[in-house]
Amino acid sequence: MNLQARPLGISGCFVARLPVFQDARGGFQKLFHAPAFEDLVPELSLQEAYLTTSQKNVLRGMHFQLPPHDHAKVVVCLTGAVTDVILDLRSGDGFGAVESVALAPDGDNCVILPKGVAHGFCAHADNSGLLYLVETVHAPEHDAGIAWDGFGFEWPVRDPILSGRDLGHPSLAEFVAPASWHNP
């Protein structure tokens, strides 16, 4: 697999376009190939996969898991279109840095994220589907988040559709990074 990933402005974060092979029958796409991701996320050991589908104007985020269940992840946009947002929660100079990228199946369709960053997205089309490949099994007691409107990012939707859970997260100013999270 020839993974053409480019680094984002947040250390350890990448965006990629996973190649699609087309012929008269349709298409084939390899969503994950460990050797291709090794250089980007050393020792990546995937444990779970999730699929979310969201309607237009749904905003999910900003989510992460706390140690010892924190994880690196690969997120692939399978359908629709989203603005994907990454927030650096690691202590150091990068704390609070924000990056956003447009993801869609026919363009950049994959982000690769290290431990210590929060992730969220806003759907621009009905039935926007994201596949998450993560390093740890979901541990609800270690699930956490930052308020979608609590870190200064200007989302591309005025009145997003949010879950009750996402309405209850603290702001970035209230968050203290775990000691094990530091910016390289």
Q: Which of 33, 50, 63, 138 is catalytic?
A: 63
| Structural domains counted in the chain | 1
Backbone angles phi, psi at 32, to 5 degrees: -150, 140
Under the banding of pLDDT at 50, 70 and 90, the label for residue 20 is confident
Q: Please indicate whether residue 142 is annotated as part of the active site.
A: no
Residue 25 lies in a domain: no
User: What pLDDT score does 79 carry?
Assistant: 97
* Backbone angle region of 179, left / alpha / beta, with phi > 0 → left and psi within -120 to 50 → alpha: alpha
How far is residue 105's CA from residue 29's CA, in Å, rounded to a whole number? 10
Residue 182 lies in a domain: no
Sheet of 14-17, strands arranged across: 4-7, 14-17, 110-113, 73-79, 128-134, 48-54
Q: Please indicate whether residue 63 is annotated as part of the active site.
A: yes
Residue 6 lies in a domain: no
**CATH code of 169's domain:** 2.60.120.10
Residue 131 lies in a domain: yes
Question: pLDDT for 131-148, tens place per residue?
Answer: 999 999 999 999 999 999
Under the banding of pLDDT at 50, 70 and 90, the label for residue 40 is confident
Residue 160 lies in a domain: yes
User: What pLDDT score does 63 carry?
Assistant: 97
Q: Which of 69, 71, 132, 142 is catalytic?
A: 132
Q: Where are the alpha helices (DSSP H) in the chain?
A: 34-38, 164-167
pTM: 0.94
- Structural domain range at position 102: 11-19+31-174
Give the tokens for residue 11.
């250390």
Question: pLDDT for 27-38, tens place per residue?
Answer: 888 888 888 888
User: What pLDDT score does 183 carry?
Assistant: 75
**CA max distance for the chain:** 54
